[in-house]
Amino acid sequence: MNKIILNTVAREKRWALMRDQSLIQIQYYQPQQVSLIENIYVGIVEKVEKGLNAAFVNIGHDKNGFLHLRDVPQTDETKEHKIHQGEKLLVQVVKDATGTKGPKLTAVIELKGQHLVYMPNGRYVAVSKKAQDEEVRNEWKRLGDTITTKEEGILFRTSALNQTEDAIKAELEELRLQYSLFKNYVDKAPKLLFHRDRMMDDLLELAKKLQQVEIVADSYSVKKELSERFEKESITNWSILQYNGQEDIFSHFDLESKVKKALQQQVWLSNGGSIVIEQTEAMTVIDVNTGKFTGKDQLKQTVLKTNIAAAKEIGRQIMLRNLSGMIMIDFVDMNKKEYHAEVISSLKEALRTDFTRTIIVGFNDLGVLQLTRKKTKRPLLEYVTTRCPVCQGSGRIESPETKAFQLERELHEYRSRIEEGVVVEVSEDVASFYKGEHQLYFNELQNRLKKEIRFVIQDHAHPFYHIKRFE
């Protein structure tokens, strides 16, 4: 049974997908970090970079959007994608901003209806891939050709196949009217013209793809809105319950501790092995360790079992942490190539319920498995953590030894001062190393400086010192 825990009583909205008491997926919707995907803006072209074949577009946010010229509709006159600095145009977000990069944009607008996806400048007709009957697909494509202009594009969603031609035409006219209203605001750039309730949309899509789902909500208004949207979309594979407890719903279902575990670099496997996950802006690297072997005779089997267990857990972690972009997995060395196929099969099975497109490239010559996962939303790590002000995101800080040597060098610079003593605020670990075992170096350092050193111990989160005063 799939269970979605919906937490909406605070400004930060979030939901978690559980399966057999295991946390499969979690999504956050923070006021300052709401996804911009599918938002439609009228923007101003700030700069055209011919070398990048792209433009940077001001849409009213801190970071300009990135628009590749291939994502600008062609003109009938030139058959080229052309824009210029200062131009105002309608754009839609296809990828959120990440790191130092602004959101990725397209000028090929998509408006999603209940049964159609309308593209005013799409120039093609398509039918949902779920319609596998070629004759049925061709029939709907013919209809699409007759009800659209040569500039327009249209995608028939799966639900459209059960609708009448008149219903489809009526929805198409509604979407055309919506787009024409957007065009009236071109002179107001930069301006947001359209945005979706991402949480509701995501839950709706999730419910469509899951076989059976029970939703537990902590807000009656959200429960009511979700029920109405499910009924409108004729989704019947769900049930929704109201949670009325005093305890926060995530705490009640022990989800807070599960989220904390999902942020740890090391994940332990049931057989004693482990995986270590390192996320960077460029890629994610995952290392698999076997732990303690049971014996040399069982080494090959231990390696295979560990790698298969790791592949299953890695699939879950990819979805849970929303890892994307290039992912490199360094499994424990396997000599037999048939083992590679077993590991890949286990990973594919673990990703079977993933709704984000993943391409498994395969093992390279170094024995590292390469895969890519489409970037759509921020990884979990970016939603709930920020850069450490001490290590600046490196994950490491200066050691007590390093800080002690820095203090020694800095005090040496003041050896010519006339004061006889110096007061230093210092953490216990730095003071201990500075003095040495049994204060082996402390007296010698004082004599060298010709000053009495007085340490004032401070509780600190990391190795620390501060020269407070001379006296």
**Model pLDDT for residues 12-33, shown as the tens digit of each residue:** 889 999 988 889 999 888 777 6
Whether the pTM exceeds 0.95: the reply is no
Residue with tokens 């060298």: 448
What would be the CATH architecture of the domain defined by 40-108?
Beta Barrel (2.40)
Measured on CA atoms in the order 439, 397, 314, 6, is the torsion positive or negative?
A: positive
Q: What is the DSSP track for 340-391?
A: HHHHHHHHHHHTTT--S-EEEEEE-TTS-EEEEE---S--HHHHH----TTT
Q: How far apart are CA 293 and CA 359, in angstroms?
A: 32
Q: How far apart are CA 405 and CA 409, in angstroms?
A: 6
Q: Where in the chain is the domain with CATH 3.30.420.10?
A: 2-33+196-257
What's the CATH number for 2-33+196-257? 3.30.420.10
Q: How far apart are CA 287 and CA 276, in angstroms?
A: 5
Q: Where in the chain is the domain with CATH 3.40.630?
A: 262-384
> What is the structure's pLDDT at 461?
84
The yes-or-no verdict on residue 292 having pLDDT over 70 is no
Give the orientation angle of helix 442-449 with respect to helix 400-413, to 10 degrees: 20
Residues above pLDDT 90, as percent of the chain: 51
Q: Where in the chain is the domain with CATH 2.40.50.140?
A: 40-108
The pLDDT mean for the chain works out to: 88
Q: Binning pLDDT at 50, 70 and 90, where does residue 294 land?
A: low
> What is the structure's pLDDT at 295?
46
What's the CATH number for 262-384? 3.40.630
Cα angle 346-347-352, degrees, rounded to a multiple of 5: 100
Q: Which amino acid is at 184?
A: N
